[in-house]
Structure 1
Amino acid sequence: MKKRFLIVLAFALAFTVSSIGGRAEAFPATGSAAKCTDCHTLTKEEAAKLLRADQFKAQIKDVRMSPVKGIWELEVSQGDKVFIVYVDFAKKFLVEGRFTELSQIGEKQLKKVDLKRIPLDNAIIMGNPKAEKKVIVFDDPDCPYCAKLHEEIKKIIAKRSDIAFYIKMYPLPMHPNAYDKSKAIVCQKSAKLLDDAFTGKKLPAPDCETDEIDNNIKLAEELGISGTPALILPDGRLLPGYAPADALLGIIDSPQP
């Protein structure tokens, strides 16, 4: 079984470090966000220690301010892989994936992908299998926002028989148990196991040998997908991240040429 042994960022204790000390605040009581770096610092060396990069032969390539106030953006590499994670100024929390401005969803043309490149034979279908509109979702069973999106998908398919969601399992490297969970879900092609994963229930061990997960990982990387959830709309637009049901329906029902 092949796994991507990138940095295991899921160690919550890595962010409860004794060196932080004092009261955890993302911002000082006074002053502007423009001066955040005057009172908050994070060196590459400190970031590497927080993420335990040395244990996984990884490097912190860059530490910079993120588009969101109070959060550092870290560029991490291991071998030929490069990915982005975020750490808050208090150095207690990690955010995976990328931030997307809500205004960009409506104002900016989303990237399009070739739907023909995405096989759906082994996808887990939520909704009407004969639905005219197919939305492809790349999911990680240990991704909190995937779980939130999962509940919104249920709302959509409950009232729209013309929309179906095709789930492709894409375990991220920062979730060490996600690979086997994804494999178990794919082996049984089970929407129930997907539900169980998102509600924190223990899944059975995989009961088959399949290269589906590795193929999904390779495909996602080729499509430029680096985080979850990631949705590919019926017109091929790639929509990263979580969206509530009403907002998602508005985007699905407004295709771009």
Structure 2
Amino acid sequence: MKFFLRSLAVMLGLVTVTATANVLADAADKESVKSKIENTLQWKIDAIADSPVDGLLQINTENGLFYVSNDGTYLLQARIYNLDEQMRNETESALAQVRIDGLKQFDDSYIEFKAENEQYVVTVFTDTTCGYCRKLHEQIAQYNEDGITVRYLAYPRAGLNSPVYRQMVAVWCSDDPKKAMTSAKAGSNVTPASCANDVAEQFKFGRKIGVNGTPNIVLSDGSVIPGYQPPEQLLAALKQIAG
């Protein structure tokens, strides 16, 4: 009996050592792939993890979510759907959580048009020169009346060296950002202003989570409605998500 117990202890010890070695090797492989991509593409990778598909790793980068083969040879930009779970979009599920977590960093940066009877909160990546962004803002009172609080983040579509970027910095640095936002979207000039701001970080985060146009509406569950939605349609979508 003692011999059996000693043998069992040795076997369990070998299993533990093997499992630990496998974990360390797996971590080393991921780090190797991460380094290869960063060095080859000059991308910043925020996270690398197993994907829902064997043989692929999931990487969260400054340019969005991608998949890469375990040996770091092949890079894919794709959507993964789970056929066993009613065509669940696994890629969108992963991005939704990135959005929810990442938006917290801008809690003090939003230009917010708050509903008095707030029932829902949406985050809108906006551009002051975008036609449909302007149309959305023209109806801001109706969104608020419907109980929808609108929080704006900046997404200057022309990039960080553009006139619209400088205008959006002026809006965020204005003494009255809400008034400046309304003026800019009405086509009026905004008094140039500068201050410590994170307009560039807002734009970069938008790229990271898949924003490629405006307006881009992020809902409380991390899902996205790309493009303009009239107040009644947005309200219906929010009610559906709320169940």
Q: Please say whether Structure 1 and Structure 2 have the same fold, judged by a TM-score greater than 0.5.
A: yes
Query: Does 2:99 correspond to 1:123?
Result: no
Query: Does 2:198 correspond to 1:228?
Result: no
CA contact (8 A) 1:111 1:238 kept: no
Which residue identity does 1:168 align to in structure 2?
L
> What SS does the aligned partner of 2:240 have?
coil
Measured after TM superposition, the shift of residue 181 of structure 1 is 1.0
CA contact (8 A) 1:184 1:203 kept: yes
The one of 113, 117, 132 equivalent to 1:145 is: 132
Query: Does 2:154 correspond to 1:169?
Result: yes
TM-score by length of 1: 0.52
Q: How does 1:1-257 map to 2 (within 5 A)?
A: 111=92, 113-114=96-97, 115-118=100-103, 119-128=106-115, 131-157=118-144, 159-160=145-146, 162-173=147-158, 176-188=162-174, 190-210=177-197, 212-255=198-241
Measured after TM superposition, the shift of residue 237 of structure 1 is 1.2
Which residue identity does 1:153 align to in structure 2?
I
RMSD: 2.8
More deviation, 220-229/126-135: 126-135
Measured after TM superposition, the shift of residue 150 of structure 1 is 1.1
Would the alpha carbon gap of residues 196 and 127 (structure 1) be closer, same or farther in structure 2, given more than 3 Å must change?
same
CA distance in 1, matches of 2:199, 2:126: 11
CA distance in 2, matches of 1:204, 1:254: 41
CA contact (8 A) 1:123 1:166 kept: yes
Would the alpha carbon gap of residues 182 and 129 (structure 1) be closer, same or farther in structure 2, given more than 3 Å must change?
farther
Which residue identity does 2:152 align to in structure 1?
I
> What SS does the aligned partner of 2:152 have?
strand
Measured after TM superposition, the shift of residue 173 of structure 1 is 1.3
Structure 2: tracts of 5 or more residues without a match: 1-61, 64-87
> What SS does the aligned partner of 1:131 have?
coil
TM-score by length of 2: 0.55
CA distance in 1, matches of 2:116, 2:177: 15
Structure 1: tracts of 5 or more residues without a match: 1-79, 82-107
CA contact (8 A) 2:148 2:235 kept: no
Structure having the larger proportion of residues in helix:
2
> What SS does the aligned partner of 1:138 have?
strand
Q: CA deviation digits over 1:178-237, x for unaligned, max 9? A: 101110111126111111111110111123132x11101110011011111000012221
CA distance in 2, matches of 1:231, 1:166: 10
